[in-house]
Chain A
Amino acid sequence: MSDAMIQIQNLNKWYDDFHVLKDINLDVAEGEKIVICGPSGSGKSTLIRCLNHLEEHQKGNIEIDGTKLSANLKHLQKVRENVGMVFQHFNLFPHLTILENLTLAPIWVKKIPKAVAEKYAMELLERVAIADHAHKYPGQLSGGQKQRVAIARSLCMRPKIMLFDEPTSALDPEMVKEVLDVMVDLAKEGMTMLCVTHEMGFARQVADRVIFMDRGQIVEQAAPDEFFNNPQHERSKEFLSQILH
């Protein structure tokens, strides 16, 4: 229990009267890959956004690598340094070059010397095959390239956990694969990952566990094979029949 990378206990969240997350309990071990799926509005994005405090929860406990999440700025800072996040709409900084996008946080948050940060950033760009574009601006790249840069930007902080919030949903179909490939590589290296995604191929390939959420609750969790071939819950079956046709 205590060696879990992420511990979530009785997590509850409301938007005014709307109960978005209901009694979520979840432990994630180091190196574990989890895919979270579910119909829209089920609270899956909200759940992972709670993990780095982009959303505030009202009840329950979240502990990340031994640090409890609260309004305490010092703890928050520590958690955010350790947790990388990739967004649906990339959210690259348009006024900075690709390289500057990567090195900004290491230089300012971790106080790493510029040359060191740039060296590591170039290695990462090499890995996601964007090194040639290091000095371009985000506006000059395609969607798939932008998302790969966004992944590299998070990795540049050397996080222990990576959160993916529908990373391929805003991409043209032909660009989905290049982003998923990067994510698969990352999974192979042993990164702890939580991905909100509808890419069931990706889930089958890398996930240790698939979590199905509906109406703010975790309805079912199982290994991918089991979940896809033999879903237990009525709502999981319905959801799968809809997305797998």
Chain B
Amino acid sequence: MKENNLEKANEMKPEAHAHAPLQNIAIWLKKNLFSSPTNTMLSIVVISLFFMALGPMINWLLIDSVWQGSAQDCREATGACLVFIREKYQFILFGFYPREELWRPILSITLFVAFLWWSKEPKRWSRRLLWRWIKLLLLITLLMKGGILGLVHVPVDKWGGLPLTLLLSFFGLLFSYPLGIILALARTGKLPLIRILSVTYIELIRGVPMISLLFMASVMFPLFMPDGVSFPKLLRAQVAIIMFMSAYMAEVVRGGLMAIDQGQYEAADALGLNYWQKQIKIILPQALKIVIPPTVNTSIGMFKDTSLVVIIALSDLLMTTKTALKDANWLGFSMEAYLFTALIYFIFCFSMSRYSNRLEEEFSYGVNK
């Protein structure tokens, strides 16, 4: 059956170019959607389901929706209440950050995203770039925190929404990736004590849910600290996230290490490279490239998992959304609010996924290019 289709497709190919565009479309449709009775039936069912769902959706979002007015107008209408988004987007994005100072997180995020965009080209990766990042992060911290240069001081517990989500995931990734690599090397290495330590750490962390780690970081950890020593809650949550992520990253990287041919190790040994030269120059570049897809998969998962910090009362993007919904004047617009938040999450996650494809192509060493 399949072979038949292929043959047909091949027969059609040379003809197809000779036809007008409209006929080309017809041929494409016939080949891809209506090539057999089963295929035709499936196509019809799927297409009609799609339109059945799409119609009401468009009605709700674009035609019957309320773009301006009050909460009352919204309740009377049958469509989406976009007024609610207009009213609340600042709060959802930036939480309790003072309204009149909002330019600061906006500028911070703009700088952050712009610099992230600029750094995405592998040819720009260098030690200098790392220094620039450190400077930028210090600048952003100052900008957000204030207290100098006439900027009003905004304490860390007022930060919320998107900046908090980005902060937790960015630093989570930044630290857990190298930590994961070290854990993976330790686990696959020859030194028994180090291997046992690494295996214990990874299995312990992977064996508990992240929520419990966050709880421990926020409730138990302060109990073990001597009097007078305390770390901000944000920092404790960040450390918990890094600990959690690095265990997962370690297993992803280990997968890559296992995929490297023994001959690569032998060739490096035979040339006299020492352990670290061998790992850094030969093994890791290949292993990390192989695991780009699962690395990004884990990163995307972690980006969304940062929303679990709500349980220790940090208000990340999802928490600010929930809080916005509690406004007594604007009850009942959760659909709109969650769609808005979902869209923001989607933009970041989808970008990561696209970028992963880019990187894979970039590192294809002249083959499959």
Real binding pair: yes
| Chain A CB within 8 A of B339 CB | no
Are B263 and A87 within 8 A (Cβ)?
yes
Other-chain contact of B367, A83, A105, A139, A154 (Cβ < 8 Å): A139
> Interface size on A (CB < 8 Å)?
29
Q: Mark A52-95, 1 if CB is under 8 A from B, else 0.
A: 11100000000000000000010001001101110101011111
A157: interface (CB < 8 Å): yes
Partner of A91 from the list B263, B273, B285, B286 (CB cut-off 8 Å) is: B263
B residues less than 8 Å from A54 (CB atoms) = 266, 269-270
Contact of B264 among A80, A81, A91, A109 (CB under 8 A): A91
Q: Find out whether the CB atom of B264 lies under 8 angstroms from the CB atom of A93.
A: yes
Cα distance, A54 to B277, chains bound together (Å)? 17
If over half of B's interface residues share one DSSP class (helix, strand or loop), that class is named, otherwise mixed; here it is: helix
Q: Decide yes or no whether A169 CB sits under 8 A from chain B.
A: no
Residues of A contacting B41 with CB < 8 Å? Answer: none
> B274-312 toward A: CB 8 Å interface, digit per residue (1/0)?
100100011001100100000000000000000000000
Q: Does A108 contact B (CB under 8 A)?
A: yes
Rounded to whole angstroms, the CA-CA distance of A105 and B272 in the bound complex is 7
- Contact between chains at B263 and A77 (CB < 8 Å): no
Contacts of A53 in B (CB 8 A): 269
Across the interface, A136 reaches (CB within 8 A) one of B264, B277, B366, namely: B366
Cβ of A104 within 8 Å of any chain B Cβ, yes or no, is yes
A91→B281 CA distance, assembly (Å): 14
Closest Cβ neighbor of B270 among chain A residues: A85
Nearest CB in chain B to that of A55: its residue: B266
A95 touches B272 (CB 8 A): no
Contact residue among A73, A139, A140, A153 (Cβ-Cβ distance under 8 Å from B271) = A153
Q: How far is the CA of A128 from the CA of B32 in the complex (A)?
A: 51
Taking CB atoms, residues of chain B closer than 8 Å to A85 are 267, 270
Contact yes or no, B365 A139, CB < 8 A: yes
Contacting A at CB under 8 A, from B322-369, are: 363, 365-367
| Distance (whole angstroms) from the CB of B364 to the closest CB of chain A | 9
Interface string of A79-123 (1 = CB under 8 A from B): 011011101010111110000000011001100000000000000
Complex Cα gap A150–B269 (Å): 14
Number of interface residues of B (CB under 8 A): 21
The answer for the CA separation of A85 and B263 in the assembled complex, in Å, is 12
Q: Does A137 contact B (CB under 8 A)?
A: yes
Whether B367 pairs with A137 at a CB distance below 8 angstroms is: yes
Enumerate chain A residues within 8 angstroms of B363, measured Cβ to Cβ.
95
Q: Are B271 and A157 in contact (CB under 8 A)?
A: yes
B272 lies within 8 A of A81 (CB): yes
Please state if A139 and B366 are interface contacts (CB–CB under 8 Å): yes
B residues less than 8 Å from A105 (CB atoms):
271-273
Look across to chain B and name the residue whose beta carbon is closest to the beta carbon of A104.
Answer: B281
Given A91-B263, A91-B266: A109 and B367 interface contact (C-beta under 8 Å) = no
Shortest CB-to-CB span from A67 to chain B, Å, is 13
A94 to B270, CA, bound (A): 17
Complex Cα spacing A105 to B274, Å: 10
Determine if A108 and B266 form an interchain contact, defined as CB atoms under 8 angstroms apart. no
Docked Cα-Cα span, A81 to B274, in Å, equals 11
Within the complex, what minimum Cβ distance (angstroms) separates B352 from chain A? 23
Least distance between A213 CB and chain B CB atoms (Å): 21
List residues of chain B with CB within 8 A of the CB of A83: 270
- Distance in angstroms between the alpha carbons of A95 and B366 in the assembled complex: 9
Interface residues of B in 93-121 (CB under 8 A from A): none
* A80 adjacent to B271 (CB under 8 Å): yes
Residue of B whose beta carbon sits closest to that of A88: B263
The residue of chain A having its C-beta at the shortest distance from the C-beta of B262 within the complex is A91
Closest CB in chain A relative to B132 CB, distance in Å: 25
30 A-B residue pairs with Cβ-Cβ distance under 8 Å, sorted by A, are A52-B269, A52-B270, A54-B270, A73-B274, A77-B272, A80-B269, A80-B270, A80-B271, A84-B270, A87-B270, A89-B263, A93-B264, A93-B267, A93-B282, A93-B286, A94-B365, A94-B367, A95-B285, A95-B289, A95-B363, A95-B365, A104-B271, A104-B273, A104-B281, A108-B277, A108-B281, A109-B272, A109-B274, A109-B277, A139-B366
Chain A: residues with CB nearer than 8 A to chain B?
A: 52-54, 73, 77, 80-81, 83-85, 87, 89, 91-95, 104-105, 108-109, 136-140, 153-154, 157
Residues of B within 8 A of A (CB): 261, 263-264, 266-267, 269-274, 277, 281-282, 285-286, 289, 363, 365-367
Task: List 10 extra interface pairs beyond A108-B281, A139-B366, CB under 8 A.
Answer: A52-B270, A80-B270, A91-B264, A92-B267, A108-B277, A109-B271, A109-B273, A138-B365, A139-B365, A157-B272
List the 10 closest A-B pairs by CB distance, nearest first.
Answer: A139-B367, A91-B267, A137-B366, A80-B272, A91-B263, A105-B271, A85-B270, A109-B272, A137-B365, A81-B272
